[in-house]
């Protein structure tokens, strides 16, 4: 049996929780799903839609907000009681905080950040990134069951989730949490300054290729369509077309968004050092030889005044 | 405030990574090593806390003889003394074995705080700090972006997903894993190097019975490597295709 | 001369000479208390330079011929008068009277033109100092200099009176005696004024010119075994730096040539030297240098070397600035903007902190071979910019194409780190020595003896600073090599370009004609900007300032870009990746429509255009 520990907050399931369920289903063993918290009825009902043997609501008032101490004690007792072969957990920030502790408490092996499960000599090997994902390693775990595995977000397709014909049974287990030493305060987002590029998920950045200050508006429209922040390279801010606080590069902000879309930016090294950490870099530049294409994941060598309106239109579809 | 900082020695980032013949580790003959970068941030944080509150910074590392290099470096940057748990197998050990070795070094010291980097640049377990806390019987918190130290207690800022943060209080002694970028690293100075020559590195044998529970059976390069994909076509088609790949492949919105 | 006169003269003489000796002893003691750093390598070269710069005043004349010749006249006049003065002293002291001899008559006749030259020179200089008042000489007219100017003029006039008037009278009269006494008292007063004035250069500058290093910015390694940390306090200043403080003639040429000063920053190289002098004389040996200098000035220096090169009396500013930076950096007190760069160098081995896989990608993409001494003549050093800066990589590809077209074999190192240029200039000696030793080990292992680079900073660091580790290879800039390789080629053209000399190439390596030769050869006419050849105006990047994004005053790069723009040329040719980054930045900020290109890219494009028109020329020998 595989026990999957899911994650919820205020009655909202963390989407990453579905992925270890998918992984567990693929191994063809019975799957039980546990959801720790103080009030997990709605999340449990949602989880019961998946094809699983049982959903366990692990409840205690102390589990209302996450603490490593309470979660570890409660989950250790549950795992001991259920005696699964494996414990699968999504590799969330929360799991990173308690899963190793849980493994240590149980004195069992754990593999973190797993991206794939492979058959290996009658058991399983777990693929995980090492050396900052420049290499991957297949890892086998030793020692008595259960073995704990945390799954990287995106390692499984949630679309592959097998749904049950009828909702799975739901059971409530009253958890004992023991002494809790951490006192968490309410989660918060940083009071956002007028512009905080460092926290932006998506950035549309403009360079000299934008030609005139009145064209900035075109970039702004694209940024709105993408729900992105607007940024710029140094010449734009030097010229006063955008304020200095929107400048990306060694003289401005260092950013690491999921998407960095560079419009008419040539890619001078001082700019590149400020945005190289972006997960996906897109460059649109008339000059196919522009250095920015060296660091881009996707590129269009074309006139931004043609491409950008077409993108805005495509995004609105 | 007496702080222990756990640092790991890893191969430098420029070392060409190639699996060895048995595909159980990289080829590391003649490799050059450096301090694991997240641990450098932990050390920096410890030094800043000491500058603010006084006390002592003890730097601890588990590994073969060569890890003295990073201990020396830590001493040069301002740590007061070092403990080296020496064992060749520790270079490839799992988080349990490493944490056990570190526990043996730290437990007798009676520290107020244990800091370490969030994870290592090589194995990237992100487990050692948490397992160590359990072994030392201390509370812990991970992915820390700010530390406020008080008398007998801490208030620390954890990074959560989706740009959320959370302050957590806990009593000391405690273990914190530090997020890279929490501070600006200081650079090594000649003054520090000279002062480090006079500082002590204590050597310990690894505790008996600490053995790894996981091993690598295959090490390989990932399939795809980063290359620029140019999207051809007339502006309208190219734009449409770009929006599609961003949505479906890159999944950035 | 009466016995009374002689007795009085003795008293006066001993008074002034005693005062002079006392003053000079104080200064000698102050200088000799410093660490010994007088290095006298290559004596023949030093003697040649001494003849040129001291005897013929070449450095004084070069930048300012009018002032220079005026000064030359005064200087030679002084030398010519030395014997006359000695004779008069012997006479006055009652030791011997040679003034009546026949040869003295001839000598006096010969002195007359010198006397006129000195008079003309000093009047010119007095007018300049007192009336024209160029800014370099300071904000206030130096009363003492004016006084000394009048002294010199009076000396000449009293001489002429003696020679042309009194000397021709029969027997000594009262007029003659008064004239003689005035002359001698002027000389003695002058002597008394020397030690505590800029005229001390009369005594010291021949020594400082002789002792000045043969190459600009000669900064020896710190010896870690001796726990050397650089200059922290006045006490740490070594002998040459102390001597420099006393030799400074306050002419302000360093200040005039300093790009930081010119763009409204606080740094003034002249002031640093004078502040050293003041501190030494005040006995403030334990004062920290940073407390003596104005705030932050040490971090405003681009190490362009213009000050040091302009100095006519052998002051070496860059070793002082680097030394004082070391004193700070060794204690963790470097300018804040350098922290990131130091971290990048420590943790990634390059100035931008990027991962070296990008270099790998470039090496593969450009189909470069790993250097093998048995197959390759040259090792091409890529440098940080070659590894990471896409524009500079284009110019390197151009260089590779030229080398291949000319049949030159070359390879690159499998692994490079930053040469340590930035670390060296910013006083991070620890980092510099680590990087240097690692690179030298790679060179040695590869058995590289001929190294070519397109980066003038790498050129200076590998070619000059690495000599401190005993590493001596032939290191050339690509401009030098390609100029050699393409001799005999020529292309018509009517392209007008302007060329920006990189400081570390034009000034430091004295390589300014080769790029012009190349440009001319390939059909370009060079419109020279102000400040060119071996005295260019810096782009603002050197000395670690590439990473100072918030410079005070006007950006140096902007100033230089405007100078280049003012030539009217539509194309700016550069030969340094740092200059390229700075000037392209200035161009983008100015939104100016100029073509900015590297010398190698320019030459390669023209060669390729030519080979399309005519059959390719055969390979040439590299040497």
Give the model confidence (pLDDT) of B77-134 as tens digits.
999 999 999 999 999 899 999 999 999 999 999 999 999 999 999 999 999 999 999 9
Farthest CA pair distance, chain A: 69
Number of other CB atoms surrounding residue C116 within 10 Å: 14
Q: Confidence band (pLDDT; 50, 70, 90) for A195?
A: confident
The Cα-based distances of C617 to C399, C489, C521, C585 in angstroms read 17, 8, 14, 37
Contact A97 B130 (CB under 8 A): yes
Interface contact C549, partner A, CB < 8 A: yes
pLDDT, position A192: 60
C587 → chain A, closest CA residue? A235
Smallest Cβ–Cβ distance between B253 and the set A139, A190, A227 belongs to A227
Cis check: omega of the bond before A247, within 30 degrees of 0: no
User: Which tokens go with C554?
Assistant: 């006007």
B-contacting residues of A 142-161, CB under 8 Å? 142-143
pLDDT, position A193: 60
Nearest-CA distance from A167 to chain B in Å? Answer: 30
B186 → chain C, closest CA residue? C339
Share of chain C above pLDDT 90, in %: 84
Residues from chain C that touch B37, judged by Cβ atoms under 8 A, are 347
Least confident of A36-50, B113-127, C139-153, C331-345: C139-153
- Mean of pLDDT over chain B: 93
CB C578 within 8 A of CB C542: yes
Nearest-CA distance from C305 to chain B in Å? Answer: 26
Q: What share of chain B is helix, strand, coil (3-state, %, to 5)?
A: 30, 30, 40
Q: Is B15 helix (H, G, I), strand (E, B) or coil?
A: coil
User: Which tokens go with B18?
Assistant: 């190639």
Contact B216 A96 (CB under 8 A): no
Q: What is the 3-state secondary structure (H, E, C) of C165-183?
A: HHHHCCCCCHHHHHHHHHH
Interface contact C550, partner A, CB < 8 A: yes
pLDDT, position C622: 45
Contact B99 A68 (CB under 8 A): no
Number of other CB atoms surrounding residue A33 within 10 Å: 28
Q: Confidence band (pLDDT; 50, 70, 90) for B142?
A: very high
CB C237 within 8 A of CB C285: no
- In this model, does residue A237 exceed pLDDT 70? yes
Cis check: omega of the bond before A146, within 30 degrees of 0: yes
Mean pLDDT, range B235-249, rounded to an integer = 92
Smallest Cβ–Cβ distance between B239 and the set A134, A259, A310 belongs to A310
The Cα-based distances of B126 to A150, B34, B100, B143, C399 in angstroms read 11, 18, 15, 10, 46
Mean pLDDT, range A205-211, rounded to an integer = 93
Quick one: C210 exposed, middle or buried, by C-beta within 10 A (0-12, 13-18, 19+)?
Answer: middle
CB A147 within 8 A of CB A141: yes
Contact C549 A235 (CB under 8 A): no
Query: What's chain A's Rg over C-alpha atoms?
Result: 24
User: Which tokens go with B228?
Assistant: 């620029």
Number of other CB atoms surrounding residue C608 within 10 Å: 15
Quick one: B141 exposed, middle or buried, by C-beta within 10 A (0-12, 13-18, 19+)?
Answer: buried
Interface contact A119, partner B, CB < 8 A: no
Range list of H helices, C93-173: 102-127, 143-160
Contact C356 B192 (CB under 8 A): no
Residues from chain B that touch C222, judged by Cβ atoms under 8 A, are 190
- In this model, does residue C623 exceed pLDDT 60? no
pTM: 0.89
CA–CA dist C439, A165 (Å, integer): 68
ipTM of the complex: 0.91
Q: Is C598 helix (H, G, I), strand (E, B) or coil?
A: strand
Q: Name A148's Cβ contacts closer than 8 Å, sequence gap at least 6.
A: A86, A87, A89, A99, A102, A103, A106, A108, A109, A110, A111
Contact C347 B13 (CB under 8 A): yes
B-contacting residues of A 54-113, CB under 8 Å? 67-69, 72, 92-94, 96-101, 103-105, 108-113
Question: HSE-up of A89 (CA within 13 Å, CB side)?
Answer: 28
What are the φ and ψ backbone dihedral angles of A38, each rounded to 5 degrees? -100, -30
CA–CA dist B99, B101 (Å, integer): 5
User: Which tokens go with B124?
Assistant: 């990237």
What are the φ and ψ backbone dihedral angles of C426, each rounded to 5 degrees? -95, 10
Beta pairing class for A298-301 and B229-230: parallel
Choose the mutation target among C340, C585, C598 for the interface with A, i.e. most A CBs under 10 Å.
Answer: C585
Residues from chain C that touch B34, judged by Cβ atoms under 8 A, are 347
What would the DSSP string read from start to end of B221-244?
--S-----EE--S-HHHHHHHHHH
- In this model, does residue C4 exceed pLDDT 60? yes
Which DSSP category does B29 fall into?
T
CB B84 within 8 A of CB B71: yes
CA–CA dist B11, C583 (Å, integer): 38
Chains in contact with C via at least 3 Cβ–Cβ pairs below 8 Å: A, B
Give, in degrees to the nearest 5, the angle at Cα B97 between B95 and B102: 90
Smallest Cβ–Cβ distance between C343 and the set B185, B190, B191 belongs to B185
pLDDT, position A30: 95
Nearest to B178 by CA among B47, B71, B41, B37: B41
Q: Name A254's Cβ contacts closer than 8 Å, sequence gap at least 6.
A: A198, A248, A273, A274, A275, A277
Contact B189 C429 (CB under 8 A): no
CA–CA dist C480, A314 (Å, integer): 54
Beta pairing class for A280-285 and A298-301: parallel
- In this model, does residue A87 exceed pLDDT 50? yes
Interface contact A224, partner B, CB < 8 A: no
- In this model, does residue A128 exceed pLDDT 50? yes
pLDDT, position B95: 95
Quick one: B79 exposed, middle or buried, by C-beta within 10 A (0-12, 13-18, 19+)?
Answer: buried
CA–CA dist A190, A196 (Å, integer): 10
- In this model, does residue C439 exceed pLDDT 60? yes
What are the φ and ψ backbone dihedral angles of A231, each rounded to 5 degrees? -135, 180
Choose the mutation target among C345, C418, C588, C605 for the interface with A, i.e. most A CBs under 10 Å.
Answer: C588
Nearest to C574 by CA among C537, C607, C604, C599: C599
Residues from chain C that touch A266, judged by Cβ atoms under 8 A, are 588
Q: Is C35 helix (H, G, I), strand (E, B) or coil?
A: coil
Question: Is A289 or B203 the better-scoring residue by pLDDT?
Answer: B203
Q: Confidence band (pLDDT; 50, 70, 90) for C613?
A: low
Beta pairing class for A135-141 and A123-130: antiparallel
Contact C589 A234 (CB under 8 A): yes
CA dihedral sign, ordered C602, C608, C612, C613: positive
Residues from chain A that touch C589, judged by Cβ atoms under 8 A, are 234-235, 238-239
Nearest-CA distance from B191 to chain C in Å? Answer: 6
CA–CA dist A247, C592 (Å, integer): 20
B-contacting residues of A 244-263, CB under 8 Å? 258-259
Q: Which residues is A284 bridged to in the sheet?
A: A263, A300
Q: Is C451 helix (H, G, I), strand (E, B) or coil?
A: strand
User: Which tokens go with C463?
Assistant: 């070619």
Which DSSP category does C238 fall into?
-
Mean pLDDT, range C308-324, rounded to an integer = 97
Mean pLDDT, range A181-206, rounded to an integer = 85
CA–CA dist C309, A231 (Å, integer): 43
Residues from chain B that touch A258, judged by Cβ atoms under 8 A, are 252
What are the φ and ψ backbone dihedral angles of A127, each rounded to 5 degrees? -85, 135
Residues from chain C that touch B191, judged by Cβ atoms under 8 A, are 229, 330-332
Contact B14 C349 (CB under 8 A): yes
Contact A259 B253 (CB under 8 A): yes
What would the DSSP string read from start to end of chain A?
-EEEE--EETTEE-GGGHHHHHHHHHTTS-EEEEEEES--HHHHHHHTTBS-SEEEEEE-GGGSS--HHHHHHHHHHHHHHH--SEEEEE--HHHHHHHHHHHHHHT--EEEEE-EEEEETTEEEEEEEETTTTEEEEEEE-SSSPEEEEE-TTSS-GGGPPBPSSPPPEEEEEPP------EEPPPEE----S--GGG-SEEEEE-GGG-SGGGHHHHHHHHHHHT-EEEE-HHHHHTTSS-GGGBBSTTSB----SEEEEES----HHHHHHHTT-SEEEEEES-TT-THHHH-SEEEES-HHHHHHHHHHHHH-
Chains in contact with B via at least 3 Cβ–Cβ pairs below 8 Å: A, C
Contact B239 A311 (CB under 8 A): yes
User: Model confidence over C162-217: pLDDT tens digits?
Assistant: 888 887 776 678 888 999 999 999 999 999 999 999 999 999 999 999 999 999 99
Q: Is C493 helix (H, G, I), strand (E, B) or coil?
A: coil
CA–CA dist C167, C620 (Å, integer): 73
Question: HSE-up of C412 (CA within 13 Å, CB side)?
Answer: 23
pLDDT, position B225: 54
The Cα-based distances of C604 to A59, C398, C399, C489, C601 in angstroms read 74, 5, 7, 13, 5
Choose the mutation target among B117, B163, B171, B180 for the interface with A, i.e. most A CBs under 10 Å.
Answer: B163
Q: Confidence band (pLDDT; 50, 70, 90) for A270?
A: confident
Contact A226 B230 (CB under 8 A): no
CA–CA dist C508, A282 (Å, integer): 42
pLDDT, position A64: 94
Chains in contact with A via at least 3 Cβ–Cβ pairs below 8 Å: B, C
User: Model confidence over C223-241: pLDDT tens digits?
Assistant: 999 999 999 999 999 999 9
A269 → chain C, closest CA residue? C389
- Mean of pLDDT over chain C: 93
Least confident of A135-149, A237-251, C36-50, C59-73: A237-251
The Cα-based distances of C215 to C221, C411, C504 in angstroms read 15, 29, 12
């Amino acid at each position: 049996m595989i026990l999957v520990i899911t994650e919820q907050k205020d009655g909202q399931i963390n989407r990453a929780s579905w992925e270890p369920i998918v992984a567990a289903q693929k191994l063809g063993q019975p799957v039980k799903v546990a959801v720790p918290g103080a009030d997990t009825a709605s999340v449990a009902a949602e989880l019961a839609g998946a094809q699983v043997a049982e959903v366990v609501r692990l409840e205690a008032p102390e589990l209302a907000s996450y603490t490593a101490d309470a979660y570890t004690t409660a989950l250790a007792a549950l795992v001991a009681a259920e005696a699964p072969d494996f414990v699968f957990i999504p590799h969330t920030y929360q799991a990173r905080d308690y899963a190793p502790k849980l493994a240590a408490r149980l004195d069992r092996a754990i593999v973190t950040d797993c991206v794939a499960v492979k058959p290996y000599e009658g058991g399983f090997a777990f693929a995980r990134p090492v050396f900052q994902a420049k290499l991957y390693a297949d890892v086998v775990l030793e020692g008595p069951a259960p073995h704990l595995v945390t799954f990287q977000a995106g390692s499984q397709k949630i679309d592959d989730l097998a749904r049950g014909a009828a909702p799975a049974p739901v059971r409530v287990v009253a958890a004992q949490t023991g002494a809790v030493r951490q006192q968490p305060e309410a989660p918060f987002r940083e009071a956002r300054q007028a512009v905080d590029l460092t926290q932006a998920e998506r950035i549309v950045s403009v360079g000299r290729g934008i030609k005139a200050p009145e064209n900035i508006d075109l970039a702004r429209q694209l940024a709105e369509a993408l729900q992105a922040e607007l940024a710029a390279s140094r010449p734009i801010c030097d010229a006063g077309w955008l304020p200095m606080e929107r400048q990306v590069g060694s003289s401005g902000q260092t950013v690491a968004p999921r998407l960095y879309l560079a419009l008419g930016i040539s890619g001078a090294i001082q700019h590149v050092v400020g945005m190289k950490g972006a997960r996906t870099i897109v460059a649109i530049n008339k000059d196919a030889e522009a250095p920015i294409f060296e660091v881009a994941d996707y590129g269009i060598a074309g006139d931004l005044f043609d491409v950008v309106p077409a993108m805005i239109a495509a995004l609105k579809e | 405030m007496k702080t222990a900082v756990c640092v790991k020695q890893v191969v430098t980032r420029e070392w060409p990574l190639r699996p060895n013949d048995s595909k159980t580790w990289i080829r590391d003959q003649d490799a050059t090593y450096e301090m694991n970068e997240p641990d450098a941030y932990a050390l920096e944080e410890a030094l800043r806390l000491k500058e603010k509150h006084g006390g002592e910074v003890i730097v601890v590392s588990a590994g073969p003889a060569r890890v003295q290099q990073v201990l020396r470096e830590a001493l040069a940057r301002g740590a007061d003394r070092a403990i080296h748990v020496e064992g060749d197998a520790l270079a490839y050990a799992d988080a349990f074995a490493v944490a056990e070795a570190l526990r043996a070094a730290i437990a007798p010291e009676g520290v107020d705080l244990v800091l370490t980097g969030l994870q290592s640049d090589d194995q990237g377990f992100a487990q050692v700090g948490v397992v160590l806390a359990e072994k030392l019987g201390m509370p812990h918190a991970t992915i820390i972006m700010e530390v406020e130290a008080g008398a007998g207690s801490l208030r620390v800022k954890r990074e959560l997903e989706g740009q959320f943060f959370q302050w957590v209080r806990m009593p000391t002694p405690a273990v914190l894993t530090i997020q890279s970028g929490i501070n600006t690293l200081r650079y090594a100075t000649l003054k520090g190097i000279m002062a480090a020559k006079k500082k002590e590195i204590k050597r310990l044998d690894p505790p008996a019975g600490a053995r790894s529970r996981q091993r690598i059976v295959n090490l390989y390069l990932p399939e795809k490597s980063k290359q620029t994909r140019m999207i051809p076509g007339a502006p309208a088609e190219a734009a449409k295709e770009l929006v599609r790949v961003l949505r479906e492949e890159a999944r950035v919105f | 001369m009466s016995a009374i006169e002689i007795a009085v003269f003795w008293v006066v003489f001993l008074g002034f000479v005693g005062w002079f000796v006392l003053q000079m002893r104080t200064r000698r003691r102050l200088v000799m208390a410093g660490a010994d750093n007088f290095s006298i390598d290559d004596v023949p070269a030093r003697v040649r330079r001494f003849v040129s710069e001291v005897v013929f005043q070449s450095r004084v004349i070069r930048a300012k011929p009018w002032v220079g010749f005026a000064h030359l006249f005064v200087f030679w006049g002084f030398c010519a008068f030395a014997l006359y003065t000695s004779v008069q002293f012997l006479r006055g002291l009652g030791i011997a009277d040679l003034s009546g001899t026949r040869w003295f008559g001839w000598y006096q006749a010969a002195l007359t033109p010198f006397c006129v030259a000195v008079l003309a020179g000093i009047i010119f200089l007095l007018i300049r100092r007192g009336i024209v008042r160029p800014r370099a000489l300071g904000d206030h007219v130096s009363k003492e200099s004016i006084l000394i100017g009048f002294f010199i003029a009076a000396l000449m006039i009293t001489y002429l009176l003696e020679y042309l008037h009194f000397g021709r009278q029969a027997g000594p009269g009262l007029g003659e005696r008064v004239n003689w006494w005035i002359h001698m008292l002027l000389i003695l007063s002058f002597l008394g004024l020397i030690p505590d004035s800029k005229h001390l250069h009369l005594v010291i500058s021949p020594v400082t010119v002789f002792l000045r290093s043969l190459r600009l910015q000669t900064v020896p390694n710190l010896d870690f075994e001796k726990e050397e940390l650089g200059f922290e306090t006045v006490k740490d200043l070594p002998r040459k730096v102390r001597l420099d403080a006393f030799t400074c003639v306050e002419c302000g040429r360093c200040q005039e040539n300093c790009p930081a000063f010119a763009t409204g920053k606080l740094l003034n190289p002249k002031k640093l030297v004078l502040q050293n002098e003041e501190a030494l004389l005040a006995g403030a040996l334990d004062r920290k240098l940073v407390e003596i200098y104005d705030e932050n000035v040490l971090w405003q220096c681009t190490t362009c070397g213009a000050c040091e090169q302009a100095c006519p009396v052998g002051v070496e500013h860059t070793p002082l600035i680097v030394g004082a930076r070391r004193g700070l950096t060794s204690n963790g007190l470097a300018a804040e903007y350098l922290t990131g760069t130091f971290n990048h160098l420590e943790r990634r081995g390059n100035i931008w902190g990027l991962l070296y896989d990008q270099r790998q990608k470039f090496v593969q993409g450009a189909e470069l071979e790993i250097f093998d001494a048995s197959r390759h003549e040259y090792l091409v050093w890529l440098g940080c910019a070659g590894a990471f800066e896409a524009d500079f990589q284009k110019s390197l590809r151009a260089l590779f194409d030229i080398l291949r077209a000319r049949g030159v074999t070359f390879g690159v190192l499998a692994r490079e780190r930053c040469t340590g240029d930035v670390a060296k200039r910013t006083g991070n000696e620890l980092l510099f020595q680590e990087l240097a030793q690692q690179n030298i080990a790679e060179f040695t292992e590869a058995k590289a003896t001929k190294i070519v680079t397109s980066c003038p900073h790498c050129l200076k660091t590998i070619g000059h600073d690495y000599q401190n580790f005993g590493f001596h290879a032939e290191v050339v800039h690509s401009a030098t090599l390609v100029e050699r390789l393409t001799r005999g080629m020529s292309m018509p053209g009517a392209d007008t370009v302007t060329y920006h000399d990189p400081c570390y190439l034009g000034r430091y390596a004295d390589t300014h004609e080769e790029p012009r030769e190349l440009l001319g050869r390939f059909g370009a006419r060079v419109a020279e900007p102000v400040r060119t050849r071996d005295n260019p105006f810096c782009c603002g990047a050197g000395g670690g300032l590439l990473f100072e994004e918030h410079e005070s005053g006007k950006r140096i790069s902007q100033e230089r870009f405007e100078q280049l723009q003012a030539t009217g040329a539509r194309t700016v040719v550069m030969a340094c990746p740092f200059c390229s980054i700075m000037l392209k930045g200035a161009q983008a900020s100015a939104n100016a429509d100029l073509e900015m290109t590297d010398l190698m890219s320019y030459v390669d494009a023209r060669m390729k255009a030519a080979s399309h028109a005519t059959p390719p020329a055969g390979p040439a020998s590299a040497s």
